[in-house]
């Protein structure tokens, strides 16, 4: 059997058979699901309920302000700042008489400090009520106003993008999510698997296996075998996660009541409209599920997944070779590794920062160039691809980025191999970056 | 062609030193060859060139009559480096199998050979143990097995006995003899001169990157003999002087004498017989390799060499 293949096999199997690998592979998606479910649950259940007493000098807000369970406005008699707590209110709002300038300051007193979201919710509702008041004084009667409110609730923004022959629905929120998620995933995996390569090389060097190995295989085969083997471990982990996540969501769907699923199905067939001219309304839950599924379907998943795999592998290969080079020059002291790693981790962290900007605004020159240069392209390009090909990312940019990444990792592998070859057989000497450069660029 | 390895004018220069500076020698098939030298003499560099890990800057290596081709010849060589180790987390059996396969054996071939050697060296029960559970001596044994497993034509052992107890050292020594008898050639590199004297047929001594001694152990000893004889007498007279020899050392009835130039051992014996002294023993004292080694290396700043700049 081919020697490199043997090395790949060993690197792969020893890691995949490891208990820690099995555990993280299974626990990670579970953890994510629990985290999402937990935050959703908390955001629904955990909101503090506030019962607010409103002392209104104008007598207008009663009946005109929207009151909900989480944020209840009441207009009791005989409550003031001295006794609202005893009467069972959490806060008290004092609203002075409207003055003609339209400016007004009102006050809220509470025992428990109010959160920023509650604060903005309160001011939003008060402002809406004031606006209503102004509209009414301008001559619009209450019935009209109510019907206007009713209708405007059904307006919804639908974004579409130019797509060759026609238009295609798109969702900025989803693009953001995909872009950020995949960029983040590449960032994390680059560190995890890059460090894994480095530790593997260090193990071989400090345990003095390297010389035994290079008497049977070429140093390059040893390095390449390790990098490819660990890359395969990473791919396996992704694949398992995708399967687990699909499995878990399918399992979760089983908990949705049957009639809700039926409604979702009819919504899908009718393209979002309930048959019967909107007379029969689908339930809230069904609407939400449909909306989620519909939004998800606007993304071009096959392209995104293919690009993700490409950029994950490309980015991994680009940096793993550098990590291997660092591992090969480190002696027993892990502190050396820390300082030598810095020039590699800096561009990764820097790319991450560019990525977080690119995902908000994917067409700035900074984002475009960062998505082409191989140091940062894996993360930044993933952030941009989520916004669509060829709308946001023209084909030439994608092609150039992919080619330069391939060229980039061939270059780093070639340079690292030269450092690695010298480094793994060098014991007891501290190596500087200057020396590593000398090794990398010398002939033969 | 009866040479397994011929080196001619090998050179390897590093930025700060001439690690190997124009070394040539050859090794007979089936012999046990000793490569000696103080620390930093260039032995490891030399061995790395022979094993194809480094390429020489200039010079020529011929392996088994043909120009050395590391790519293909590497499987005919077994190298146990001085700096050696194994994957700590790997099981012994898997480790041996992996290394054997990397040497080009098929899986089934490797299995048969591993089983043979494990049985021979009483390691059968180790299969599922991990390397980290082994003592230093045990892992040394495993290392030896993985070096010779693929029946290489040339076996290179760098300090093979370090960390072994006398029982296991003898076990490995016997295996080395056995391998040589079955046609393998062994290069043996060490600082332990008594082992070299015992095991090796032929030695080369390198110092400061150059070869300073080359020959069979017996020849070298003859070459460096100082015409010293040990004499044991029944009774030692108060004064014993003669033009043919001088006493260099005396312990009770034992004398060490150095024969002066122009005389033979028979002259000494004749003198003693004339004195009517009882001669209980009379034999030549040959220098030990250790003495020769120290004589040649001492004072050559060998140990401080690593810190010397190279003058071009």
Per-residue pLDDT tens digits for A73-102:
888 888 888 888 888 888 888 888 776 666
The rounded percent of chain A whose pLDDT value lies above 90 is: 20
Domains within chain A, CATH numbers bracketed: 50-132 (3.40.190.10), 173-441 (no CATH)
The CA angle A85-A91-A95, to the nearest 5 degrees, is 120
Torsion region of A78: left, alpha or beta (phi above 0 gives left; psi -120 to 50 gives alpha): left
CA–CA gap between residue A381 and residue B10 (Å, rounded)? 52
pLDDT at B312: 38
Using CA coordinates, name the residue in chain A closest to B88.
A207
CA–CA gap between residue B103 and residue B110 (Å, rounded)? 10
A3 shares contact with chain B (CB less than 8 Å): yes
User: Please, are residues B88 and B131 in contact by the beta-carbon 8 Å criterion?
Assistant: yes
CA–CA gap between residue B114 and residue B92 (Å, rounded)? 11
Residue A386's contacts (CB-CB under 8 Å, 6 or more residues apart) are: A174, A175, A176, A177, A178, A179, A182, A299, A304, A359
Query: What are the beta bridge partners of residue B155?
Result: B78, B186
Count of residues in chain A: 444
Q: Which of A212-216, A235-239, A388-392 has the lowest mean pLDDT?
A: A388-392
CA–CA gap between residue A352 and residue B95 (Å, rounded)? 40
Q: Based on the number of CB atoms within 10 Å of its own CB, is B154 exposed (0-12), middle (13-18) or buried (19 or more)? A: buried
User: Please, are residues B42 and B209 in contact by the beta-carbon 8 Å criterion?
Assistant: yes
Q: Is a pLDDT exceeding 60 seen at residue B161?
A: yes
Neighbouring CB atoms inside 10 A of B36's CB total: 26
Contacts of A6 in chain B (CB under 8 A): 98, 101-102
**Cβ separation B79–A215 shorter than 8 A:** yes
**DSSP state for residue A268 in the 8-state scheme:** H
User: Please, are residues B27 and B187 in contact by the beta-carbon 8 Å criterion?
Assistant: yes
Q: What is the dihedral of CA A292, A293, A295, A299, to 10 degrees?
A: 140
CA–CA gap between residue A422 and residue B54 (Å, rounded)? 10
pLDDT at A164: 55
Best residue of A199, A216, A418 to probe chain B, by most B CBs closer than 10 Å: A216
* ipTM of the modeled complex: 0.79
Most confident by average pLDDT, A111-125, A221-235, A294-308, A428-442: A221-235
For residue B107, the distance in angstroms to the closest alpha carbon of chain A comes to: 9
A212 shares contact with chain B (CB less than 8 Å): yes
Neighbouring CB atoms inside 10 A of B83's CB total: 17
Distance of CA A159 to the CA centre of its chain: 21
**Cβ separation A209–B77 shorter than 8 A:** no
For residue A435, the distance in angstroms to the closest alpha carbon of chain B comes to: 11
Q: Is a pLDDT exceeding 60 seen at residue B306?
A: no
Beta sheet of A107-110, edge-to-edge order:
A71-74, A50-56, A91-95, A107-110
Contacts of B143 in chain A (CB under 8 A): 212
Domain B226-285 sits in CATH at: 3.30.70
CA–CA gap between residue A409 and residue A375 (Å, rounded)? 10
Sign, Cα dihedral of B60, B66, B69, B75: negative
Reported as a pLDDT band with limits 50, 70 and 90, residue A197 is very high
pLDDT at A232: 94
pLDDT at B235: 81
Reported as a pLDDT band with limits 50, 70 and 90, residue B113 is very high
* Structure-block tokens of residue A263: 């409604």
Tens-digit pLDDT profile for residues B124-152: 888 888 888 888 888 888 999 999 998 89
For residue A211, the distance in angstroms to the closest alpha carbon of chain B comes to: 7
For residue A321, the distance in angstroms to the closest alpha carbon of chain B comes to: 21
**Cβ separation A209–B87 shorter than 8 A:** yes
CA–CA gap between residue B19 and residue B40 (Å, rounded)? 8
Residue B144's closest CA among A216, A7, A212?
A212
CA–CA gap between residue A234 and residue A348 (Å, rounded)? 18
Domains of chain B by residue range: 3-221, 226-285
CA–CA gap between residue A172 and residue B175 (Å, rounded)? 74
Tens-digit pLDDT profile for residues A33-77: 788 777 767 665 555 678 888 888 777 777 778 777 778 888 888
For residue B305, the distance in angstroms to the closest alpha carbon of chain A comes to: 16
Contacts of A217 in chain B (CB under 8 A): 102
Q: What is the DSSP string of A176-194?
A: HHHHHHHHHHHHHHHHHHH
Gyration radius (Cα) of chain B, Å: 24
Q: How many CB pairs under 8 A join A and B?
A: 56
In the three-class reduction of DSSP (H, G, I as helix; E, B as strand; rest coil), residue B259 is classed as strand
Q: Is a pLDDT exceeding 80 seen at residue A190?
A: yes
Reported as a pLDDT band with limits 50, 70 and 90, residue A324 is very high
Q: Is a pLDDT exceeding 60 seen at residue A166?
A: no
CA–CA gap between residue B37 and residue B43 (Å, rounded)? 7
Identify the H or E element spanning B177: helix B166-181
pLDDT at A279: 42
Distance of CA A261 to the CA centre of its chain: 28
Check: CATH 3.40.50.300 for B3-221? yes
The rounded percent of chain A whose pLDDT value lies above 70 is: 88
Residue A80's closest CA among A93, A70, A67?
A93
Best residue of B102, B106, B139, B159 to probe chain A, by most A CBs closer than 10 Å: B102
What HEC string does A269-329 produce?
A: HCCCCCCCCCCCCCCHHHHHHHHHHHHHHCCCHHHHHHHHHHHHHHHHHHHHHHHHHHHHH
Of B81, B98, B101, the CB nearest to A211: B81
In the three-class reduction of DSSP (H, G, I as helix; E, B as strand; rest coil), residue B252 is classed as coil
Torsion region of B245: left, alpha or beta (phi above 0 gives left; psi -120 to 50 gives alpha): beta
Residue A115's closest CA among A18, A162, A47?
A47
* Structure-block tokens of residue B250: 């005396």
* Structure-block tokens of residue A399: 């092609």
Count of residues in chain B: 312
CA–CA gap between residue A120 and residue B218 (Å, rounded)? 99
Distances (CA, A) of A223 to A19, A52, A357: 24, 67, 35
Best residue of B12, B40, B87 to probe chain A, by most A CBs closer than 10 Å: B87
A6 shares contact with chain B (CB less than 8 Å): yes
* Structure-block tokens of residue B233: 């007498």
Q: Is a pLDDT exceeding 90 seen at residue A409?
A: yes
**Cβ separation A3–B102 shorter than 8 A:** yes
For residue B101, the distance in angstroms to the closest alpha carbon of chain A comes to: 8
Contacts of A10 in chain B (CB under 8 A): 98
CA–CA gap between residue A178 and residue A181 (Å, rounded)? 5
Residue A203's contacts (CB-CB under 8 Å, 6 or more residues apart) are: A209, B87, B88
pLDDT at A284: 66
CA–CA gap between residue B40 and residue B44 (Å, rounded)? 8
* Structure-block tokens of residue A245: 């996540």
The rounded percent of chain B whose pLDDT value lies above 70 is: 95
- Tell me the average pLDDT across A431-438: 79
**Cβ separation B51–A215 shorter than 8 A:** yes
The maximal CA–CA distance of chain A, rounded, in angstroms, is 94
CA–CA gap between residue A71 and residue A90 (Å, rounded)? 10
Q: Report phi then psi at A34, rounded to 5.
A: -60, -40
pLDDT at A226: 94
Of B75, B83, B98, the CB nearest to A208: B83
Tens-digit pLDDT profile for residues B70-87: 888 888 899 998 888 888
Q: Is a pLDDT exceeding 80 seen at residue B213?
A: yes
**Cβ separation B52–A212 shorter than 8 A:** no
**Cβ separation B81–A209 shorter than 8 A:** no
Mean pLDDT of chain A: 81
CA–CA gap between residue B193 and residue B205 (Å, rounded)? 11
């Amino acid at each position: 059997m081919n020697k490199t293949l043997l090395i790949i096999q060993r690197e792969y199997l020893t890691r995949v058979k490891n208990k820690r690998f099995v555990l993280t592979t299974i626990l990670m998606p579970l953890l994510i699901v629990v985290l999402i479910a937990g935050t959703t649950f908390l955001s629904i259940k955990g909101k503090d309920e506030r019962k607010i007493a409103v002392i209104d000098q104008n007598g207008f807000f009663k009946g005109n302000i929207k009151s909900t369970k989480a944020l209840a406005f009441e207009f009791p008699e005989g409550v003031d700042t001295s006794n609202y707590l005893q009467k069972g209110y959490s806060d008290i709002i004092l609203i002075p008489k409207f003055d003609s300038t339209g400016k007004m300051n009102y006050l809220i007193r509470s025992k428990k400090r109010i959160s920023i979201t509650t604060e903005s919710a309160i001011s939003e509702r008060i402002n809406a009520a004031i606006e209503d008041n102004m509209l009414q004084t301008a001559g619009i009667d209450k019935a009209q106003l109510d019907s206007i409110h009713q209708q405007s609730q059904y307006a919804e923004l639908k974004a579409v993008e130019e797509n060759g022959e026609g238009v295609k629905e798109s969702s900025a929120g989803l693009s953001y999510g995909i872009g950020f998620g995949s960029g983040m995933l590449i960032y994390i995996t680059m560190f995890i698997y890059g460090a894994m390569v480095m530790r593997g090389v260090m193990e071989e060097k400090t345990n003095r296996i390297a010389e035994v190995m290079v008497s049977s295989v070429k140093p390059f085969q040893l390095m390449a075998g390790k990098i490819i083997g660990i890359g395969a471990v990473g791919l396996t982990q992704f694949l398992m996660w995708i399967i687990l996540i699909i499995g878990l969501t399918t399992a979760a769907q089983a908990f949705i009541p049957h009639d809700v699923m039926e409604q979702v199905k009819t919504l899908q067939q009718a393209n979002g409209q309930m048959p019967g001219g909107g007379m029969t309304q689908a339930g809230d839950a069904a609407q939400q599920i449909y909306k989620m599924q519909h939004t998800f379907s606007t993304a071009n998943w096959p392209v995104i997944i293919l690009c993700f795999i490409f950029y994950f592998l490309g980015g991994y290969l680009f940096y793993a070779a550098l990590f291997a080079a660092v591992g090969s020059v480190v002696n027993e002291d892990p502190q050396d590794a820390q300082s030598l790693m810095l020039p590699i981790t800096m561009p990764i962290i820097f790319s991450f920062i560019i990525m977080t900007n690119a995902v908000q605004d994917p067409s700035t020159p900074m984002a475009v160039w960062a998505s082409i240069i191989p140091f940062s392209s894996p993360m930044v390009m993933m952030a941009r691809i989520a916004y669509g090909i060829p709308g946001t990312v023209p084909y030439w940019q994608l092609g150039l980025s992919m080619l330069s990444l391939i060229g980039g990792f061939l270059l780093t592998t070639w340079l690292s191999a030269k450092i690695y070859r010298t480094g793994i057989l060098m014991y007891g000497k501290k190596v500087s970056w200057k020396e590593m450069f000398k090794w990398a660029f010398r002939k033969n | 062609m009866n040479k397994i390895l011929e080196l001619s004018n090998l050179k390897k220069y590093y930025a700060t030193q001439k690690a190997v500076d124009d070394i040539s020698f050859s090794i007979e098939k089936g012999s046990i060859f000793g490569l000696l030298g103080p620390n930093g003499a260039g032995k490891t560099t030399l061995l790395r060139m022979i094993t194809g890990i480094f390429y020489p800057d200039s010079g020529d290596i011929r392996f088994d009559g043909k120009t050395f081709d590391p790519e293909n010849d590497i499987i005919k060589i077994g190298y146990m480096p001085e700096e050696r180790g194994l994957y700590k987390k790997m099981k012994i059996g898997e480790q041996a199998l992996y290394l054997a396969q990397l040497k080009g054996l098929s899986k089934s071939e490797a299995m048969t050979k591993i089983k043979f050697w494990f049985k021979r060296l009483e390691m059968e029960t180790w299969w599922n143990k991990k390397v980290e559970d082994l003592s230093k001596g045990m892992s040394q044994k495993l290392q030896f097995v993985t070096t010779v497993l693929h029946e290489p034509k040339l076996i290179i052992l760098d300090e093979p006995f370090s960390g072994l107890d006398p029982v296991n050292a003898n076990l490995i020594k016997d295996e080395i003899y056995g391998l040589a008898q079955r046609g393998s050639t062994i290069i043996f590199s060490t600082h332990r001169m008594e082992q070299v004297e015992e095991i090796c047929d032929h030695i080369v001594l390198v110092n400061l990157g150059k070869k300073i001694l080359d020959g069979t152990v017996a020849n070298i000893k003859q070459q460096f003999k100082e015409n010293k004889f040990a004499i044991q007498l029944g009774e030692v007279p108060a004064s014993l002087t003669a033009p043919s020899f001088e006493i260099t050392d005396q312990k009770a009835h034992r004398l060490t004498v150095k024969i002066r130039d122009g005389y033979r051992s028979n002259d000494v014996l004749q003198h003693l017989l004339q004195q009517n002294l009882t001669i209980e023993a009379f034999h030549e004292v040959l220098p030990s390799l250790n003495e020769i080694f120290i004589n040649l290396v001492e004072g050559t700043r060998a140990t401080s060499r690593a810190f010397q700049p190279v003058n071009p």
